[in-house]
Amino acid sequence: MEKLVIQGKCRLSGTVKASGSKNSALPLMAASLLCSSGEMNLSRIPDLKDIRTFSKLLDYLGAETSYRENTLNISTAGIRSVQAPYELVKQMRASIYVLGPLLARFGHASVSLPGGCAFGPRPIDLHLMAMEKLGASISIDKGFIEARTTGARLKGAAIDFPITSVGATGNALMAAVLAKGRTTIQNAAVEPEIVTLCHFLNAMGADIHGTGTTSLEIEGVATLNATAFTNIFDRIEAATLLAAGAITGSSITVTDVDPSQLSAVLGKFEEAGCTIISDTDAITLQSPDTLIRTDVIANPYPLFPTDMQAQWIALMTQAEGASHVIDKIYHERFNHIPELNRLGAHIEIRHNEATVHGPGKLTGTKVMSTDLRASASLVLAGLVAEDVTEVLRIYHLDRGYERIEQKLNSLGAAIKRESYQEFA
Ligand code: UD1
């Protein structure tokens, strides 16, 4: 396995580029399955474990994928299987994204029940509800979701999600674009990743209206065409890099971003005393002498993202006073807290609310990654801790951060990647 060895107490400075978004790239890759001829050309696709896993899944289904320098070509003309196997799906929960496209194009999909990040219950009932509304019959057989259309195609329907789900909105969209007739989706997610998926589907020839609103209207079409498309930046990676600047008392710039997609997070950095200077495609963060305690509640976009909650808790260990953090999306997403406390942080959890008592001196030791964003919070803590912090099991981090240690080192951090063996 690999670990990051972080020499703490660094100061950062300079400029770093944001990568393409993983959470946007995955549905774009899945949507490619809707196309029965031609080759997709997707640029700004990050070089990440999750992207490789999803490519393997597409290849397994019979697609041809090739990846070079952040550009992914996908040809899905030769799909010969509609079954997403356990061995691949268990590595990544987002594999559920193949359900809608396969069902829409082939009238049948068989997808292993997903695994993925290990925080709290993560049901898929809304994905299945949307497919059923569109006319599919669904059963669970030997750990697989078996979905079939009753006629040749799915049928347009009214889908009203009881809660906002990024994944279920994406799956419903990808199924509805090839359904017969009109589909409406109420309470649709408005995350930039869903907006981007709508743009991509429309570029393929779909007919989606209401993009960026909670009310989507889709006129089904018979076929879709291959296209070239540029992915959006990774807003969570960009925010994590800014947090690295803030926690180390530094001034840094992250480029290749759209600051409007980070309004809630940038507002919180300002509340914490940071100066934020936004340009059209760059954000500069200047840290204050002392960070100010700042509460956050993670909620669907455009509010503060759950995927930045762990990093925010790490940041608040260095702020003056007690900060309160609640996650309204994943109530129990607090696996990072015991590990941050092992570094010397003073964080309590009561009734799904974390209270971070800062500022505290952190001291490096070995800590364990438990999920993607928890890992990022440990890296941030390591940057400010005394001595050396070793973040173990960074395969979680590698799922979602492209060359994070190289990016941080280019700003002045001292992080090494090393192999190690875990005791049995
Ligand atoms: C996506 C992101 C993930 C992020 C999350 C919330 C990807 C690959 N992952 O995950 O990084 O943390 O959005 O912003 O884009 N829910 C149900 N039933 C369902 C589906 C979801 O109850 O069928 C619940 C979830 O348990 C959660 C909430 O809905 O409480 C939102 O989850 P959702 O938006 O679906 O998250 P994902 O799309 O899985």
424 or 315: which carries more pLDDT confidence?
315
Mean pLDDT of 8-18: 97
Q: Give the atom of ligand 1 at the shortest distance from the alpha carbon of 306.
A: 12
392-420 average pLDDT score: 96
Which amino acid does the sequence have at 281?
A: D
Residue 120: pLDDT over 70 = no
Nearest in space to 112 (alpha carbons), one of 99, 123, 128, 101:
99
Per-residue pLDDT at 175 exceeds 80: yes
pTM of the model: 0.97
Q: Which residues line ligand 1 (CB under 6 A)?
A: 23, 26, 94, 122-127, 163, 165-168, 193, 306-307, 329-330
Residue-level pLDDT at 115 = 56
For residue 311, what pLDDT band results from cuts at 50, 70 and 90?
A: very high
Span from the CA of 388 to the centroid of ligand 1 (angstroms): 35
Q: Does the pLDDT of residue 116 top 70, yes or no? A: no
Q: What's the CA-to-centroid distance between 41 and ligand 1, angstroms?
A: 27
pLDDT of residue 123: 87
Mean pLDDT of the chain: 96
Q: Would you call 45 exposed, middle or buried from its count of C-beta atoms within 10 A (0-12, 13-18, 19+)?
A: buried
Q: How far is CA 148 from CA 130, 142, 200, 279, in A?
A: 13, 16, 25, 48
Residue 8 CA: distances (Å) to CA of 382, 392, 415: 6, 16, 9
Does the structure show a pLDDT above 90 at 119? Answer: no
| Res 424 pLDDT > 90 | no
- What pLDDT is attached to residue 118? 52
Can you tell me the mean pLDDT for 28-53? 97
